[in-house]
Amino acid sequence: MEASTTIKKMLAGNRIFVPTYQRAYSWDTELEKSNLPKQINVFLSDLEEYNRSTTKSKYYFGHFLFEERTENKFGVIDGQQRMTTIVIFLSALFTRLKQIRPLTEKEEESFEDIIKRKSTYRFETVDYDKQLFKDYVIDQIKKDKNRLETESAKRIVTAFDFFTSNLADKDESYLLKMLDTIQNASCTTHPVKDESEAIQMFIFQNNRGKKPSNLEIIKAQFMFNVHLCGGEEKEALIEEIKTRFEKIYKSISSIEYRINEDDVLVYTLRVHFNSLWETNAVDKINKLLSEENPIPFIKSFTQSLATSFEHLTSFFGKDERENLEIHSLITLGGIGIAMPFIIKAYKFELSIDQINQLCNKLESMVLRHRLIGTRADITSRLNGVYKDFTDENSDIQPIVDRIEWMKNVSSDSWWWAYWNNNELERSIQGDLNHSIAKYLLWKYENHLESQGKSGYTPTRFDKIVSPELEHIAPQTENPETGYDSYDEEFRNQFINCLGNYLLLSKSHNCSVGNKPFKEKRDSYTHLEQQREIQRMTTDNQTWTRDLIQERKDKIIEFIMNEI
């Protein structure tokens, strides 16, 4: 493989693959217009802009770093996101060209050099997405998109569909010019046979599309240190790390839209060292790697990472779908303080009933922490019971007791009282963060629906179609009748409060907008809290400050009793 080459020459006659310990496909596609274009959109727009220009220089696709496994077989260490996207785009391009006319002999040769020759695929992604990539992108075997297992697989499908859609109306001239631009685009390569050299280079290089995460950097540092200090165990240790990271990246591809991988790195640090005070994972780990023999730490912490991701895959996956307590905590969001407790609970093999109880109590504390906004440090108040929560003493009752005590402690106990019920009630009187307000109204909705019903099954938040926060009395005064007078008191105390907030679907919210109250009221038929507004205004179809206060009091009473 030449140091300075073209895309076609780099791929021709070689087999390039993404090692299983590397990140899966992570480039996103923005299918609608956005102020922040995603990598796939930028990829296409950059090519089109180049083809419209009068420049004579070749298009440049950057640098690719490879680990040479055997002759003509290379693992891509840096540049795999670009390479994956190039192959996806070219496959879509050849498909469109074939729809217009048969490929020429030269074009068939290009297809075989870049995409596939007989049963040899020039490029393969990570193992768990490899068959999907071959079937959907190269061989164009359609798949049930609802059954894709990983987020990376969904991105691959979305990228191919995006390119296919954009090329659908392009003529032969456009396609041939684009093909010529890409296959003759210049790039530089650096294949190395020494894996430690490849890893060391990766540490100091950034992917053009996405900067490596802290987790990726830590993985590379672990492998490099094993190469330096592993001795006779080096090969076995490298294989162990690769195997664990293969599982980690598969987990990430399943849950990355729910949680950030670098956050999981920090949570794992807190579990591994049994302290909520651990914050800077990179600094902590670098310090440990500088010790005389870092191998025992590398082995144990890599196992801890794999365990954390495995448990969080269950937590954000099957368990969240089947348990309302878990779903409710995740719906609330901002749950970083709770996650080390959750990971420990799974690690200690607690029953799902115990995990549900723990989630319920942690949810109450997270809500207070998000609402009250005190500068007081909650970590110091919970770190003691967290440290005592161990494999030998995995009883959650001390945690439950601590949270309940913090909720009910007297305001005279100032060091503990920042999150008590008095502070909670004070914090929900006025304007609220909209995501928290929607969460509280969802809880209130289930409360209303359960009244007088036996065997009631609560409604999940994700069953409400595109939930949005509606101001019953609109923020902008409507000159039509049906609302209270918009004096200073009404604007400051009643417009932005729980009593005037209502859950609506996005389409419903758009349709009612700034309409008179009677028109809004007639449309309030979908949720129980909407029907509550109808019942409250049966006699006088006007939405007044007294009614807002009445409803606000009811919601606050529910929150104080149930949360």
CA distance 324 to 108: 55
Q: Is 106 exposed, middle or buried (0-12, 13-18, 19+ CB in 10 A)?
A: exposed
Cα–Cα distance, 159 to 191 (Å, whole number): 28
Q: Is it the case that residue 345 has pLDDT exceeding 50?
A: yes
Domain membership of residue 394 (yes or no) is: no
Residues 249 and 176 in one domain: no
Residues 187 and 236 occupy one common structural domain:
no
Residue 54 has pLDDT above 90, yes or no: no
CA distance 302 to 314: 19
> Does 231 share its domain with 190?
no
Query: Is the pLDDT higher at 526 or at 346?
Result: 346
- What's the domain range around 151? 4-198
Q: What tokens does 205 get?
A: 């290089």
Does residue 455 register a pLDDT over 80?
no
Say if residue 291's pLDDT is above 80: yes
pLDDT of residue 426: 94
| 20 and 61 inside one domain | yes
Residues 8, 91: one domain?
yes
- Structure tokens belonging to residue 458: 């609560």
Domain boundary among 316, 338, 368: 316
- Which residues are CB-contacts of 27 (< 8 A; sequence separation ≥ 6)? 38, 39, 40, 43, 81, 84, 85, 155, 159, 209, 210
Query: Sign of torsion, CA 48 52 55 58?
Result: positive
> Following CA atoms 198, 204, 206, 212 in sequence, which dihedral angle do they give, to the nearest 10 degrees?
90
CA–CA distance, 336 with 347 (Å, rounded to integer): 17
Say which residue, 457 or 406, is predicted with more confidence: 406
Confirm whether 275 is domain-assigned.
Answer: yes
pLDDT computed for residue 203 by the predictor: 61
Q: Does residue 79 contact residue 185 with C-beta atoms inside 8 Å?
A: no
In a domain, 522, yes or no: yes
Do 312 and 284 fall into the same domain?
A: yes
More reliable by pLDDT, 512 or 493: 493
CA 553, CA 248: separation in Å to the nearest integer? 47
Q: Is the pLDDT reported for residue 164 higher than 50? A: yes
CB-based contact 484:490 (threshold 8 Å): yes
Least confident of 194-208, 380-394, 446-460: 194-208
Structure tokens at 77: 């260490």
pLDDT tens-digit series, residues 55-97: 778 999 988 989 888 878 999 988 889 999 999 999 999 999 9
As a whole number of angstroms, the distance between CA 504 and CA 524 comes to 9
| Domain final residue pick, 256, 281, 316 | 316
The residue among 246, 241, 282 whose CA lies nearest residue 265 is: 282
The more confident residue out of 447 and 24 is 447
Indicate left, alpha or beta for 464 from its phi (over 0: left) and psi (-120 to 50: alpha). Answer: beta
- pLDDT above 90 as % of the chain: 67
Q: How many independent structural domains does the chain possess?
A: 3
- Where are any strands of DSSP class E within 145-301? 186-192
> Distance (Å, rounded) from C-alpha 23 to C-alpha 76?
11
| Per-residue confidence band for 23, with pLDDT thresholds at 50, 70 and 90 | confident
Distance CA 307, CA 444 (A): 36
Final residue in a domain of this structure, among 316, 341, 364: 316
Closest by CA to 550, choosing from 497, 507, 513, is: 497
Mean pLDDT for all residues in the chain: 90
Q: What's the CA angle centered on 102, arms 100 and 105, to 5 degrees? A: 135
The whole-number pLDDT of residue 34 equals: 47
Dist CA 383 CA 233 (whole Å): 37
Tell whether the model's pLDDT for residue 315 goes beyond 80.
yes
Q: Are residues 95 and 20 in the same domain?
A: yes
The CB-based long-range contact list for 287-296 (8 Å cut-off, 24+ gap) reads: 289/221, 289/222, 289/225, 293/229, 294/225, 294/229, 295/225, 295/226, 295/229, 295/230, 295/233, 295/237
d(CA 360, CA 299): 34
pLDDT tens track for 234-256 = 889 988 988 898 889 888 888 88
Radius of gyration of the chain (CA): 29
Spatial separation of the C-alpha atoms in residues 26 and 123, rounded to whole Å: 16
In a domain, 409, yes or no: no
Q: Are residues 38 and 162 in the same domain?
A: yes
Dump pLDDT digits (tens) for 170-223. Answer: 999 999 999 999 999 999 998 887 766 666 666 655 444 456 789 988 988 898
Residue 270 counted as domain residue: yes
User: Does residue 82 lie within any of the structural domains?
Assistant: yes
Q: Which two tokens stand for residue 169?
A: 């109306």
Query: In this predicted structure, what is the pLDDT of residue 202?
Result: 65
- Assess whether 103 and 244 both reside in one domain: no
Residue 396 counted as domain residue: no
Calpha distance 130→118 (Å, rounded):
17
Same domain membership, residue 189 and residue 45: yes
In a domain, 376, yes or no: no
Instruction: Indicate whether 50 and 194 sit together in one domain.
Output: yes
Write phi, then psi, for 474 (nearest 5 degrees).
Answer: -65, 155
18 and 119 co-located in one domain:
yes
Distances (CA, A) of 201 to 5, 389, 496, 543, 546: 20, 41, 54, 66, 68
- With bands split at pLDDT 50, 70 and 90, how would you rate the model's confidence at 283? very high
Local confidence band at 36 (pLDDT 50, 70, 90 cut-offs)? low
